[in-house]
C-alpha cells in the first residue's frame, strides 16, 4: 500500500507522518529527495541552462534563498522550476518506494504537482486554518509574515486537498487530537488493504 500525504505548510503533516511511522509504515520523504536532487550535478547543469534567472552560486551550488524567493513569488518561474526538478525527484522517490519492505507513506508536499498521486493507493491530506498554518511556519522556518503568506499563497487551498483526497485530517486544535485522528485514518486504511 502506498499512501500519499499532502497538505499545506504548517498544517501538521509531520505529526501525521509520526503516527504512520508508529504504525509500521516506511516513510519516503519527498522533501529529502528534493534536497538530494538540488545537489545533483546533472540537475544543476540543466537548471543553469534552462532557467532564465541565475539560481546558482559562484561555486555551482544552488542558492536556496534566491530560489525560494523566486519560486514562491512568481508562479511562472515556479512552474518552470518544477518542470525541471520533478523528473529527478520522481526518479529518486520511485527507487525508494520499490526498495521499501512495508507499506509506504509518501510524504509529498507537491504530490499532485509532481503527478505522484497516480501511484498512490489512497491520499491523506492534512488541513488547518490559514492563520494557524501561517503562525506555525513563521515559528518553524523563521519566516516573516510576508514570506509565510507568499509560501502559503503558492500552494493549493484546503478545499483542493479535501476534494482530491480519500481522507482529510483537520488540525485546528491539539497535537494529541491530531494523533487520534491520524490513527483513526490508519485503521480505516488498514481495513481496505
Q: What is the pLDDT of residues 118-147, one digit of tens each?
A: 999 999 999 988 888 788 888 888 888 888
Q: Are 162 and 20 in contact (CB under 8 A)?
A: no
pTM for this prediction? 0.84
Count of alpha carbons within 13 angstroms of residue 56, beta-carbon side:
18
Q: Is the pLDDT of residue 193 over 70?
A: no
Amino acid at each position: 500500500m502506498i499512501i500519499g500525504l499532502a497538505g499545506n505548510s504548517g498544517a501538521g503533516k509531520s505529526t501525521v507522518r509520526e503516527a504512520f511511522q508508529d504504525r509500521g509504515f516506511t516513510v519516503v520523504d519527498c522533501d529529502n529527495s528534493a534536497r538530494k536532487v538540488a545537489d545533483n550535478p546533472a540537475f544543476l547543469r540543466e537548471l543553469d541552462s534552462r532557467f532564465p534567472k541565475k539560481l546558482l552560486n559562484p561555486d555551482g551550488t544552488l542558492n536556496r534563498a534566491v530560489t525560494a524567493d523566486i519560486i514562491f513569488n512568481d508562479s511562472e518561474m515556479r512552474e518552470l522550476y518544477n518542470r525541471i526538478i520533478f523528473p529527478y525527484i520522481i526518479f529518486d522517490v520511485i527507487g525508494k518506494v520499490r526498495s521499501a519492505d512495508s507499506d509506504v507513506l509518501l510524504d509529498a508536499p507537491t504530490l499532485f504537482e509532481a503527478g505522484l498521486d497516480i501511484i498512490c493507493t489512497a491520499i491523506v491530506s492534512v488541513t488547518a486554518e490559514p492563520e494557524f498554518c501561517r503562525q506555525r511556519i513563521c515559528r518553524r522556518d523563521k519566516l516573516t509574515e510576508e514570506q509565510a503568506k507568499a509560501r502559503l499563497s503558492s500552494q493549493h487551498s484546503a478545499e483542493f486537498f479535501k476534494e482530491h483526497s480519500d481522507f482529510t485530517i483537520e488540525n485546528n486544535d491539539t497535537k494529541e487530537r491530531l494523533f487520534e485522528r491520524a490513527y483513526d485514518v490508519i485503521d480505516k486504511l488498514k481495513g481496505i488493504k
